[in-house]
Amino acid sequence: MDRGLALLLAGLLGLLPPGHAFPDQLTVSPAALGPADPEVACTAHRVTPADPSALSFSLLLGGRELEGAEALDLEVEVEEDESQEDDDMLFRVTERWRLPPLGTPAPPALHCQATMRLPGLELSHRRAIPASNPAGDQLSAALWTSSAVLGLLLLALPTYRLWKRCRHLAEDGAHPPASLRLLPQVSAWAGLRGTDQVGSSPS
């Protein structure tokens, strides 16, 4: 097989030559971009080589590199969970940028892209940094508060009715109606009648 075709197939399959590693394990910070976030960072995990000539990062907006973004530093660390059986050392590489003004409203998302470039082979992984929506967050909070207040009002109404009914029952117990006040008299009369019947029975 032609070497160029082999490299192309390797790129399509996500394969790299021996001694290279570039898994799709990008992480971004912050996870959601807020108005007060002046910087963003993108980290590629378990990669090798970490040479900037092979591994590079870019910050994209709408598929194009974000204009005005200032690259701050490139940090390379050895992966702490690297297996000792691996012959090749794996690295965690982080690129940071200072953001330019993004305007109002902010774009829906930025994208961090990491690219591994080798002779005849280029692979890229991309991760979104969505923009938070303060107006939407405030609206959600207002809706939640309104729902809570409405729920309390709906709960208070049957509670008040139950309390009012219990109060009436208590008052009725202290001053029972005429129908209930007659019951002891009827019972007493029935008892006396039973006594008379017993007394009149033959000895």
Q: Which of 31-35, 115-119, 135-139, 141-145 has the lowest mean pLDDT?
A: 135-139
Question: What's the DSSP call for residue 195?
Answer: H
pLDDT in tens, 105-131: 777 888 999 999 988 889 999 999 988
C-alpha span between 91 and 114 (Å, rounded): 14
Mean pLDDT, to the nearest integer, of 160-168?
74
Q: Which of 13-17, 25-29, 141-145 has the lowest mean pLDDT?
A: 141-145
Residues 6+ apart with CB under 8 A from 186: none
* Cβ neighbours of 90 (radius 10 Å): 17
C-alpha span between 92 and 77 (Å, rounded): 5
What number of CA atoms fall less than 13 Å from residue 91's CA on the CB side? Answer: 14
What HEC string does the chain produce?
CCHHHHHHHHHHHCCCCCCCECCCCEEEECCCECCCCCEEEEEEEEEECCCCCCEEEEEEECCEECCCCEEEEEEEEECCCCCCCCCCCCEEEEEEEECCCCCCCCCCEEEEEEEEEECCEEEEEEEEEEECCHHHHHHHHHHHHHHHHHHHHHHHHHHHHHHHHHHHHHHHHHCCCHHHHHHHHHHHHHHHHHHHHHHHCCC
pLDDT in tens, 44-77: 999 999 888 899 999 999 888 988 899 999 999 9
Domain 17-132 listed as CATH 1.10.3720.10: no
